[in-house]
Amino acid sequence: MKNVIIACGGTGGHLTPGIALAQSLEEKGCKAWLFISRKSVDSRLSSKYPTLNFVAMPGAPLIRTPLGVIRFLKGFISSYLQSKRFYKKVQAEAMVGFGGFTSLGPAVAARFQKIPIFIHEANRVVGKAVRMIAKNSDRLYLPEGLVVEGLSQKVVKNVGYPLRKEFRRIPRERARKHLGIPNIDRLLVVLGGSQGAASLNNWVKTNLSELAKEGISTLCITGMGKDSSGVVQLDGPGGEIITSRFIAFTDEMNVILSAADLVVSRAGAGAIAEIVRCRVPSILVPYPYAADNHQYHNARFLEEKGGGLVCPDKELMEKLFKEVQEMMFNEELRAILRRNLFAMDRGDVGVWLVDDMKQLVSEIKISQNAQEEGLEVYA
């Protein structure tokens, strides 16, 4: 297996695991091309990886309005045609889709050209795009314990979420030194994903004074365009200064999570995978309008595994402060959560995916060759 196409654009949750897989493929001597969308979130993140090969593709999500359907069909047809030409140009041997509208055209083109198709679903509810192409895929990667009705267990493999090579947990003291945060601080990190979360930002601003009175400093990632960055200093319980920080975006999420005592976060699959890798106790606040309520199911699974707690968005103002207070000052509980998170870490998922893909592509080639030889003999 030498040439692999990865369709992974549209959101950070689709693109970052695609980048992680591309890194693992390149390490194993495979050439990878990443099909991304033309959205700014894709162009910004892809610019951080100059050694990888990115190809901006047309496409639009399916919105069930007359204009939305027209845009979707136009993007799908254009993506299909461009994918078909690109596969022939690079002699693609496999196609990997991470869901979202950018996967549909490339997957259909791969099927018509008899190129093996691998699909990865990160969330605990299978998305629309994945449902549309799963039955024509050669391998479907799903989260632990998840199945799709009608698909053979020979097709489905349960795996984790591939994280980029640079995303590593680092010692708490080193992370805090890098960020300029004292080791004695009780640090709460609040994040709402790459786009931020208005309700979490508002919760922080509403409760900032009360958090300071408890001796809790806050680092809030507000999201691009949501709020301005800055520093707020307030009096702590003993008259000391409690410093809280607001930043719009960061490329050092592993450092921030490694420095945290506690995280309040949305419940995207990528955010949870990063929380697990950094072994940081969390309170997850699922985005209530996520497709098929998938963030709720993601969060509930982590809670059932003993890796964190869930606070519904509608109960944010009533319950979250008390839950933060109780968890922040319960060292024993946080130690238990960290142990459970360590047990949940699946290691280098990217390497596992590459090994499985190479084996299946090899088996498919052997089968195809045998069929061709059989047809020649019969003729």
pLDDT per residue as tens, the chain (379 positions): 889 999 998 888 889 999 999 999 999 999 999 999 998 888 988 999 999 999 999 988 888 899 989 998 999 999 999 999 999 999 999 999 998 888 999 999 999 999 999 999 999 999 888 888 888 899 999 999 888 888 888 899 999 999 999 999 999 999 999 999 999 999 999 997 655 578 999 999 999 999 999 999 999 998 866 566 889 999 999 889 999 999 988 889 999 999 999 999 999 999 999 999 999 999 999 999 988 899 999 999 999 999 999 999 999 999 999 999 999 999 999 999 999 999 999 999 999 999 999 999 999 988 878 877 765 544 4
Fold of 3-161+347-378: Rossmann fold (3.40.50)
What pTM did the predictor assign?
A: 0.92
The residue among 196, 198, 250 whose CA lies nearest residue 223 is 196
Domain boundaries 172-344, CATH class: alpha beta
CB 331: neighbour CB atoms within 10 A?
10
What are the extents of the domains in the chain? 3-161+347-378, 172-344
Distance CA 59, CA 38 (A): 8
> Nearest-5° angle of CA 341, CA 342, CA 345?
85
Strands (E), the chain: 3-7, 31-36, 53-56, 94-97, 117-120, 139-142, 156-158, 186-191, 216-221, 230-235, 241-247, 262-265, 282-284, 308-310
